[in-house]
Amino acid sequence: EVQLVESGGGLVQPGGSLRLSCAASGFTFSNYDMHWVRQTTGKGLEWVSVIGTAGDTYYSGSVKGRFTISRENAKNSLYLQMNSLRAEDTAVYFCARDVGTVTNRFDPWGQGTLVTVSS
Amino acid sequence: DIQMTQSPSSLSASIGDRVTITCRASQSISTYLQWYQQKPGKAPKLLIYDASSLQSGVPSRFTGSGSGTDFTLTISSLQPEDFATYYCQQSYSTPELTFGGGTKVEIK
């Protein structure tokens, strides 16, 4: 069974840091681009970042320069290092596999991990 | 960024009803459009990709159509398990992918 399991969420103060992890199983992790997508009550679903099979990375404008996506294929793991956190980064963070051949589509998604940025 | 606008934001329907949800893009996105279903406390699930292709394992009562800027998701006969929130997502402006605001389908 293809499965993604996120961890690492929690409560952090503004300006703080947090590292999210996503453990993949049931497929050849190194063959897929992997994304982070977040969901807030107010703004809905927001794409955050992607890392390609070759390690190329892209970020949304709202997190560029503060977040770093990485992967460790030997451990079938995806990461999101989040620095300089702001209240508006409060969200449920999902990792998702990109199964698109020409364009991007997400399947499956993990169950999500909640990040709360508050003093 | 390409803005995706869904309508309605919520609807009430009965079991067996035909339900149609609309998604409009702020510019042409060809058929680079996906639909997802999300139930409370769960992750989104891919239903339709490339505007009209049914994801494996998804019931045939779900159909997608459209191209350019206007797209629809239709549920031909609403079932109890279909009560959820539905999101569209464009993949034309990769990697700056964007989602619609969601349509919540509730029981009438």
Does B85 reach chain A within 8 Å, measured CB to CB?
Answer: no
- Label residue A92 exposed, middle or buried (CB < 10 Å: 0-12, 13-18, 19+): buried
Report pLDDT digits (tens) over B12-56: 999 999 999 999 999 999 999 999 999 999 999 999 999 999 999
- How far apart are the CA of B82 and the nearest CA of chain A, in angstroms? 18
For position B12, what pLDDT does the model report? 97
Chain-wide mean pLDDT for chain A?
Answer: 96
Calculate how close chain A gets to B88, using CA atoms only, in Å: 10
- Cβ–Cβ below 8 Å for B89 and A111: no
Q: Is A46 on the interface with B (CB under 8 A)?
A: yes
Write out the DSSP string of A5-18. EEE--EEE-TT--E
pLDDT (0 to 100) of residue A42:
76
Confidence of residue B77 (pLDDT cuts 50, 70, 90): very high
Residue A43's pLDDT is what? 76
The pLDDT of residue B3 is 97
A5, A38, A39, A104, best to mutate vs chain B, most B CBs in 10 Å: A104
* pLDDT value of position B106: 96
Q: Please tell me the distance in Å from B18's CA to the nearest CA on chain A.
A: 26
Cβ contact (<8 Å) for B101 and A100?
A: no
Answer yes or no: do A111 and B96 touch at CB < 8 A. Answer: no
- To the nearest whole Å, the CA of B100 is away from the closest chain A CA by 8
Alpha-carbon distances of B65 from B32, B44, B62, B71, B72, rounded to whole Å: 11, 20, 10, 6, 5
Find all residues with CB under 8 Å of A102, minimum gap 6, and list them: none
Q: Which residues of chain A have pLDDT under 70?
A: none
Q: How many CB pairs under 8 A join A and B?
A: 57
Please answer whether residues A35 and A106 qualify as being in contact, where contact means their C-beta atoms are separated by less than 8 angstroms.
yes
The closest CB to that of A58, out of B44, B55, B95, belongs to B95
